[in-house]
Amino acid sequence: MSNAWADSMLNVLWRDLSRRGLEDPSVRRQCRADYVAACEYLVRERPGIGLITGFYIPTANCWESDGPPGAIFLGRCLSRLGYPVCFYAEFDLADILRYALALCGEAVPVVTYPPAETCAAWWQQERRRFNDREVCLVVIERPGPAHTPDSVLAQCGDERRIRDFLAMVPASNWDRLHTMSGQDVTEYHWPVHHWLEKSQARVLAIGDGGNEIGMGKLLWDGIARNVFHGARIACRIPADWLIVSSVSNWGAYAVATGICHLCGATQILADLAQPDLEKQLWQEVCQRYCLCDGVTGQPACRGEDFSIDGQPWQVHASVLEAIISALRADHHPSSC
């Protein structure tokens, strides 16, 4: 994959990224390199895929609308390309994912998390699902634990940064999961980060706010400086590859597009990237289950709209249209 083509994707992903505080040249370079490397790895190695998503918003008493649509989109794409795919989620979110997949007619398994203390043994058994092949865990819009003095020191080895950290971050925030406004949501989420640390799987993470799993690949002080509440909410968990996006769903769309680009599988993506059908799918999901807009805290489905991260569906539709246009413009025969 050429850097020029990757940049065309990043230009779509990074629309309005300045509102997130992560629009920085060094972040873009890192993101481009990771995007290219992740897509090439997924096509070259064809690992089993474990998809993880879910950001719970307590004030709305439901899961947010950024994450599940991107995960379902990417999972459907990879399944159609012949990858073994499985979703992992908490019980109530698992029901939402299963329903969305059923509406699509996709037979992809959704597994609920075990008791946290049994994680290691559970994963040893669970990975048999993938016939002992290498596994890549793809984490989309999932909160991760905030930094601690030890994690900041490990990142930079600079005692001055530790002094800054201690001055800015109360101990009550250390190693806790937070919303973008700084609310502690640890108790609402299964500890995915413990699984990642024990799994020995490769990890591709997609996030948009600095507080998600994978953002530990970026320096704490950069997030602290540029993101509102960043010092307290910045996640300490890194990933093998990190894709920063204005909206995390868009990052998932871009990964699917990159894989189809490398495979020449234009039609698979074209069948999926239909804005009207995608909107209809999630409106049907919302007729049975609650999803909220993670920025406004309001129901994601209001009237004829389906909003994500404070933006109406029209904005997200334009992203789907842009990525399929980019793929069609650079079509080449299938190699997958």
254-297 per-position pLDDT tens digit? 999 999 999 999 999 999 999 999 999 999 999 999 999 999 99
267 in Cβ contact with 242 (< 8 Å)? no
Confidence at residue 17, expressed as pLDDT on a 0 to 100 scale: 59
H/E stretch holding 197 reads: helix 192-199
For residue 21, name the pLDDT band (cuts at 50, 70, 90): low
Higher pLDDT residue, 54 or 23?
A: 54
Average pLDDT over residues 211-220: 96
Q: What digits encode the pLDDT tens for the residues 128-138?
A: 999 889 999 99
pLDDT at 186: 98
Report pLDDT for 195.
94
- What is the C-alpha to C-alpha distance for residues 329 and 323, in angstroms, rounded to an integer? 10
**What is the Cα–Cα distance from 207 to 184, expressed in whole angstroms?**
18
Give the alpha-carbon dihedral of 56, 115, 86, 217, to 10 degrees: 60
Assigned domain for 150 exists: yes
Are the beta carbons of 259 and 241 closer than 8 angstroms? no
What pLDDT sits at residue 12? 87
Q: What pLDDT, on the 0 to 100 scale, is given for residue 7?
A: 86
Give the range of the structural domain holding residue 58, as residue numbers without chain letter. 3-329
Q: Does a structural domain hold residue 334? A: no
pLDDT of 49 above 60: yes
Mean pLDDT of the chain: 93
Find the mean pLDDT for residues 165-169.
95
241 within domain boundaries: yes
Amino acid (1-letter code) at residue 234: A
- Write the CATH number for 56: 3.90.1640.20
pTM of the model: 0.95
> Strand 62-64 to strand 56-57: parallel, antiparallel, or no bridges (unpaired)?
antiparallel
* pLDDT at residue 20 tops 70: no
pLDDT at 11: 87
Residue 194 resides in a domain? yes
Q: What is the pLDDT of residues 103-113, one digit of tens each?
A: 999 999 999 99
Taking each helix axis as running N to C, give the angle between helix 275-288 and helix 91-104, from 0 to 180 degrees, rounded to the nearest 10. 130
Measured from the Cβ of residue 181, the count of other Cβ atoms closer than 10 Å reads 12
Residue 268 structure tokens: 């698979």
Q: Is residue 336 part of a domain?
A: no
Residue 82 lies in a domain: yes
Per-residue confidence at 152, pLDDT binned at 50, 70, 90?
Answer: very high
Give the pLDDT of residue 27.
84
Per-residue pLDDT, 334: 55
How many domains does the chain divide into? Answer: 1
